[in-house]
């Protein structure tokens, strides 16, 4: 493959632009490119039936970080880059809403909360948050207002962070910080909306195509795949954590994250999104009887890359998640468990560039791809169109 006349002459003839990886970034890139140049042949290749990274497996937070996460970033990248990062997330969400529409995303501006316990680590974190409160408010407030001021009902509420004693009391937390700009999407609806938009725009979306390597060819690039060689003038690589397998030297690696859905007594958790342990743990309401609880990558449990599995390690991770969730929401049953994969690197900034002429990449979304993915896709599309 492709060997038949209809395949080589038409269906799989060389593309103008091939995007590899149908996650949020790849789908946004392909959509932007095709909408800008309807006559170009734009192909989107994905190795799995839906997607196998984070895009169909995330928690659906439409979020920009929390005080605890921002302090980590402040220490690693400094105030300027942190503000840029918050701006990218806020702009990314605005971009996603513009691409697909708030209703199609199942977007709800519920607000989020950062919960702090009375543990030693959280008490230390609390002291730091107090000390840097104004800095954080200033750094986050401006980009949130600038990007979402016209879209968000919280725009009038003003600050990025607010103490919330009632929520702390309701959940037995030592402190709760309200994040009024935060919201949640329905991840399944977002992916379905992307698929509709891509099909409508005329992007050729091929699932089940695993790209094993890319190499320069006289007319651009050749992609070596499980279904044979495919040609393209340019390539946009959006394979996130796995990108270094195709372009060596990219500073990104795949990291697993575990998630579970808990059935709880009705109304156990007030509607919203919640950050715990500087965002390494998180929970959100799905409906009044189901809570999604996940995270724990800071525990360092290792899992093999799919399709391999280590069920003992998964069970160990799940036991820890269940114990952690029990602190906040007593559950009656675990109804779903799964692993998703993140692309991470030395800091939380995405990696966008061109490693060789015509071979572009946009990877390393960290745990924030829902927020920044569409914006990163737009940036990659612009460079692909300029090339
Ligand atoms: C459990 C979990 C919870 C998360 N929660 C949130 C959240 O609440 N809010 C938020 O903003 N972000 C969240 N994230 C992060 C977010 O989901 C990711 O940052 C985002 O989905 C990354 O999108 P992407 O397009 O870069 O990569 P991916 O979604 O990983 O997509 C890359 C695609 O490339 C495909 N691919 C890889 N290699 C090849 C190849 N060689 N050939 C063909 N295809 C290939 C993969 O199958 C995959 O579908 C979460 C992530 C996880 C794992």
Give distance in angstroms: CA of 87 to centre of ligand 1. 20
User: Are 310 and 366 within one domain?
Assistant: no
Number of domains in the chain: 2
Give distance in angstroms: CA of 59 to centre of ligand 1. 11
User: Are 207 and 277 within one domain?
Assistant: no
User: Are 166 and 275 within one domain?
Assistant: yes
The confidence score (pLDDT) of residue 51 equals 85
CATH number for the domain that contains residue 228: 3.50.50.60
CB of 237 closer than 6 angstroms to any ligand 1 atom? no
Closest atom of ligand 1 to CA, residue 245: 41
User: Are 319 and 212 within one domain?
Assistant: no
User: Are 237 and 227 within one domain?
Assistant: yes
In a domain, 89, yes or no: no
Listed in sequence order, the residues at least 6 apart from 320 whose beta carbon sits closer than 8 Å to its beta carbon are: 296, 299, 301
CATH number for the domain that contains residue 148: 3.30.9
Q: Whose CA is nearest to atom 18 of ligand 1?
A: 369
User: Are 145 and 158 within one domain?
Assistant: yes
211 backbone dihedrals φ, ψ, rounded to 5°? -85, 120
CB of 51 closer than 6 angstroms to any ligand 1 atom? yes
Measuring CA to CA, how many Å separate 367 from each of 58, 119, 260, 345? 9, 24, 16, 11
Tell me the per-residue pLDDT of 88-123, one tens digit each, with 9 for 90 and over: 999 999 999 999 999 999 999 999 999 999 999 999
Q: Whose CA is nearest to atom 53 of ligand 1?
A: 340
Residues of the domain holding 177: 109-182+254-343
Measuring CA to CA, how many Å separate 106 from each of 31, 172, 180? 20, 30, 18
Give distance in angstroms: CA of 191 to centre of ligand 1. 12
The confidence score (pLDDT) of residue 130 equals 95
Closest atom of ligand 1 to CA, residue 341: 53
CB of 373 closer than 6 angstroms to any ligand 1 atom? yes
pLDDT confidence bin for 154, thresholds 50/70/90: low
Secondary structure string (H, E, C) spanning the chain:
CCCCHHHHHHHCCCEEEEEECCCHHHHHHHHHHHHHCCCCCEEEEECCCCCCCCCCCCCCEECCCCHHHHHHHHHHHHHHHHHHHHHHHHHHHHHHHHHHCHHHHCCECCCEEEEECCCHHHHHHHHHHHHHHHHHHHHHHHHHHHHHCCCCHHHHHCCCCEECHHHHHHHCCCEEEEECCCEECCHHHHHHHHHHHHHHHCCEEEECCCEEEEEEECCEEEEEECCEEEEEEEEEECCHHHHHHCCCCCCCEEEEEEEEEEEECCCCCCCCEEEEHHHCEEEEEEECCEEEEEECHHHCCCCCCCCCCCHHHHHHHHHHHHHHHHHHCCEEEEEEEEEEEEEECCCCCCEEEEEECCEEEEECCHHHHHHHHHHHHHHHHHHHHHC
pTM of the model: 0.95
Give distance in angstroms: CA of 55 to centre of ligand 1. 4
Tell me the per-residue pLDDT of 323-359, one tens digit each, with 9 for 90 and over: 999 999 999 899 999 999 999 998 878 999 999 999 9
Count of C-beta atoms within a 10 Å radius of residue 34: 25
Name the burial class of residue 387, with classes exposed (0-12), middle (13-18) and buried (19+) by CB atoms within 10 angstroms of its CB. middle
The confidence score (pLDDT) of residue 113 equals 98
The confidence score (pLDDT) of residue 348 equals 79
The confidence score (pLDDT) of residue 156 equals 62
For range 139-165, the mean pLDDT:
86
User: Are 172 and 41 within one domain?
Assistant: no
In a domain, 43, yes or no: yes
User: Are 274 and 365 within one domain?
Assistant: no
Closest atom of ligand 1 to CA, residue 50: 49
Give distance in angstroms: CA of 167 to centre of ligand 1. 31
Tell me the per-residue pLDDT of 199-219, one tens digit each, with 9 for 90 and over: 999 999 999 999 999 999 998
In a domain, 77, yes or no: no
In a domain, 281, yes or no: yes
User: Are 258 and 248 within one domain?
Assistant: no
Candidates 90, 74, 93; CA nearest to 141 is 90
Give distance in angstroms: CA of 34 to centre of ligand 1. 21
In a domain, 87, yes or no: no
**Please, are residues 203 and 31 in contact by the beta-carbon 8 Å criterion?**
yes
In a domain, 146, yes or no: yes
CB of 240 closer than 6 angstroms to any ligand 1 atom? yes
**Please, are residues 245 and 21 in contact by the beta-carbon 8 Å criterion?**
no
Q: Whose CA is nearest to atom 3 of ligand 1?
A: 58
User: Are 264 and 321 within one domain?
Assistant: yes
CB of 55 closer than 6 angstroms to any ligand 1 atom? yes
User: Are 142 and 162 within one domain?
Assistant: yes
In a domain, 78, yes or no: no
In a domain, 154, yes or no: yes
Residue 303 CA, chain-centre distance (Å), reads 20
The confidence score (pLDDT) of residue 52 equals 84
Tell me the per-residue pLDDT of 211-266, one tens digit each, with 9 for 90 and over: 999 999 998 999 999 989 999 999 999 999 999 999 999 999 999 999 999 999 99
Q: Whose CA is nearest to atom 24 of ligand 1?
A: 23
The confidence score (pLDDT) of residue 21 equals 98
Tell me the per-residue pLDDT of 266-323, one tens digit each, with 9 for 90 and over: 989 999 999 999 999 999 999 999 999 999 999 999 999 998 999 999 999 999 999 9
The confidence score (pLDDT) of residue 342 equals 93
User: Are 234 and 380 within one domain?
Assistant: yes
Where b means 16+ CB within 10 Å and e means fewer, 118-143 reads eeeebeebbeebeeeeeebbebbbeb
């Amino acid at each position: 493959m492709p060997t038949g006349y209809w395949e080589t002459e038409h269906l799989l003839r060389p593309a103008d632009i091939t995007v590899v990886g149908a996650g949020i970034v790849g789908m946004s890139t392909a959509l932007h490119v095709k909408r800008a140049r309807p006559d170009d042949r734009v192909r989107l290749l994905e190795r799995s039936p839906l997607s196998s990274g984070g895009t169909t497996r995330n928690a659906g937070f439409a979020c920009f970080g929390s005080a605890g996460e921002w302090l980590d970033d402040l220490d690693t990248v400094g105030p300027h880059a942190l503000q840029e990062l918050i701006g990218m997330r806020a702009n990314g969400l605005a971009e996603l809403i513009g691409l697909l529409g708030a209703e199609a995303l199942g977007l709800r501006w519920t607000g989020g909360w950062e919960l702090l316990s009375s543990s030693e680590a959280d008490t230390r974190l609390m002291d730091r948050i107090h000390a840097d409160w104004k800095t954080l408010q200033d750094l986050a407030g401006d980009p949130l207002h600038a990007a979402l001021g016209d879209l968000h009902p919280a725009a009038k509420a003003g600050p990025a962070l607010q103490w919330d004693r009632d929520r702390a009391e309701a959940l037995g937390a030592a402190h709760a910080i309200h994040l009024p700009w935060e919201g949640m999407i329905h991840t399944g609806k977002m992916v379905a909306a992307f698929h509709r938009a891509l099909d409508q725009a005329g992007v050729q979306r091929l699932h089940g195509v695993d790209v094993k390597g890319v190499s320069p060819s006289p007319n651009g690039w050749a992609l070596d795949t499980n279904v044979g060689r495919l040609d393209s003038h340019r390539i946009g690589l959006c394979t996130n954590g796995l990108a270094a397998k195709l372009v060596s030297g990219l500073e990104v690696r795949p990291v697993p994250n575990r998630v579970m859905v808990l059935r709880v007594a009705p109304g156990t958790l007030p509607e919203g999104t919640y950050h715990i342990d500087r965002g390494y743990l998180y929970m959100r309401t799905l409906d009044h009887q189901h809570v999604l609880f996940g995270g724990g990558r800071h525990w360092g449990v290792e899992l093999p890359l799919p399709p391999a599995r280590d069920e003992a390690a998964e069970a160990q991770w799940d036991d820890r998640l269940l114990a952690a969730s029990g602190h906040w929401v007593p559950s009656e049953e675990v109804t779903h468990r799964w692993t998703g994969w993140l692309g991470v690197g030395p800091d939380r900034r995405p990696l966008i560039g061109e490693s060789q002429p015509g071979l572009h990449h946009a990877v390393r979304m960290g745990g924030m791809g829902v927020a920044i993915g569409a914006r990163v896709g737009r940036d990659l599309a612009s460079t692909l169109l300029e090339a």
